[in-house]
């Protein structure tokens, strides 16, 4: 269930080594899997939609996998059944869930009516491409994580040469609090580019053309991009599955805490032993090989492998002007070389699945 970064690798594994004694079904809302790492580049007009999209149908066909393009609304782990939006159901022996997350704060009054949420990411990508250029004059980005920062810079670059005001607001006391050296470089770049970044700023309500703030004040906008972190899908709580902050709780084997035959990976799940692991695509990518092995092993009754998240990871922030800022184990660097590295890593990941 889901076409996320981990499941792309499961499909790759099945294409290279088919399961002769099992039938596999992929259930997705959309057959187009969007690689999140390249979305800011699309916003800055560095990429086009085909550059960051993998069509799951030919990949699944190569892997001998049937595709069902319908939303799933509930999983019954006791009956081993997945219920779809049209009330049909699929039975399973082993299930795997890699559906990502929703964006947080959608319950803030007015967000659903007036903002452009960054998730579902496929919908965000197609809506960005349909934007009217009149929205460029006053842009407000809510969310000071890596995604919000990249989008703020890349939205400004999208209309380079035009009169565009970009403001980023975040509720935390400081930008990127666990990576202060990187945050200082981001703030310096924002100042040089004329972007305004405000911490300790919480949106109370969204109205047409203006947001009101907790504690008073307001900010006008022409385009409001909502990138306020990750929130869980309701599927897990509605299915009676144990969760941490709404995310499915898994063991190191990526199995659900109380159901050996259901696996979950990526942003939709939280490891019981590492509950503070960030919701970042790098972890879903690293979980892919473990998940691929464990699904096969579960069917065969063989030992499973354990996953342990890395303590730190390479971060490359696209600034939209052909440069990037990079972080690796406390070291910070930036420039065109950093952007070339990011572009190479991202393109190679997407092309890897197209070649199959």
Higher pLDDT, 259 or 162: 259
Assigned domain for 151 exists = yes
Q: For residue 157, which of 41, 315, 303, 239 has the smallest C-alpha distance? A: 41
**pLDDT for the residue 134:** 65
Higher pLDDT, 286 or 354: 286
pLDDT tens by residue, 204-263: 999 999 999 999 999 999 999 999 999 999 999 999 999 999 999 999 999 999 999 999
**pLDDT for the residue 72:** 94
Instruction: Give the structural domain span for 218.
Output: 104-229
> How large is the average pLDDT for residues 30-55?
96
Whether residues 165 and 254 share a domain: the answer is no
Whether residues 83 and 130 share a domain: the answer is no
Assigned domain for 43 exists = no
Assigned domain for 48 exists = no
Assigned domain for 65 exists = no
- By percentage, how much of the chain surpasses pLDDT 90? 93
Q: Which of 229, 250, 271 is the last residue of a domain?
A: 229
Tokens, residue 323: 């440069």
Phi, psi values for residue 134, rounded to 5°: -65, -20
Q: 99 and 236 in contact (C-beta within 8 Å)?
A: no
Whether residues 132 and 198 share a domain: the answer is yes
**pLDDT for the residue 164:** 86
By the 10 Å C-beta count (0-12 exposed, 13-18 middle, 19+ buried), 81 is classed as middle
- Residues 229 and 326: their CA atoms lie apart, in Å, by 20
- Residues 295 and 221: their CA atoms lie apart, in Å, by 47
CATH number of the structural domain spanning residue 164: 3.50.50.60
């Amino acid at each position: 269930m889901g076409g996320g970064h981990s499941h792309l690798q499961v499909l790759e594994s099945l294409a290279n080594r088919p399961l002769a004694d099992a039938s596999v079904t992929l259930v997705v809302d959309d057959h187009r899997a969007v690689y999140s790492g390249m979305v800011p580049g699309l916003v800055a007009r560095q990429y086009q939609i085909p550059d960051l999209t993998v069509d799951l149908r030919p990949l699944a066909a190569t892997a001998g996998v049937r595709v069902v393009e319908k939303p799933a609304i509930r999983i019954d782990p006791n009956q081993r059944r997945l219920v779809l939006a049209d009330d049909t159901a699929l039975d399973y022996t082993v299930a795997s869930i890699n559906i990502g997350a929703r964006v947080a704060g959608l319950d803030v009054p007015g967000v659903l009516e007036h903002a452009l949420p960054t998730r579902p990411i496929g919908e965000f990508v197609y809506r960005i491409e349909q934007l009217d250029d009149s929205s460029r004059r006053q842009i407000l980005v809510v969310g000071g994580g890596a995604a919000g920062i990249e989008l703020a810079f890349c939205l400004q670059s999208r209309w380079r040469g035009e009169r565009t005001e970009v403001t980023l607001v975040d509720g935390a006391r400081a930008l990127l609090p666990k990576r202060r050296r990187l945050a200082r470089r981001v703030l310096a770049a924002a100042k040089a580019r004329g972007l305004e970044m405000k911490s300790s700023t919480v949106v109370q309500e969204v109205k047409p053309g203006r947001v009101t703030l907790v504690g008073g004040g307001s900010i006008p906008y022409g385009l409001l991009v909502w990138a306020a972190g990750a929130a869980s899908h309701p599927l897990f709580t509605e299915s009676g599955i144990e969760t941490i902050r709404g995310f499915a709780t898994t063991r190191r084997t990526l199995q659900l805490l109380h159901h050996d035959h259901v696996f979950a990976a990526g942003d939709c799940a939280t490891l019981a032993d590492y509950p503070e692991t960030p919701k970042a695509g790098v972890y879903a990518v690293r979980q892919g090989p473990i998940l691929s092995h464990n699904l096969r092993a579960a069917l065969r009754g063989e030992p499973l492998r354990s996953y342990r998240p890395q303590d730190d990871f390479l971060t490359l922030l696209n600034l939209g002007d052909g440069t990037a800022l990079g972080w690796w184990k406390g070291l910070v660097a930036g420039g065109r070389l950093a952007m070339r590295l990011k572009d190479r890593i991202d393109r190679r990941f997407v092309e890897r699945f197209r070649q199959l």
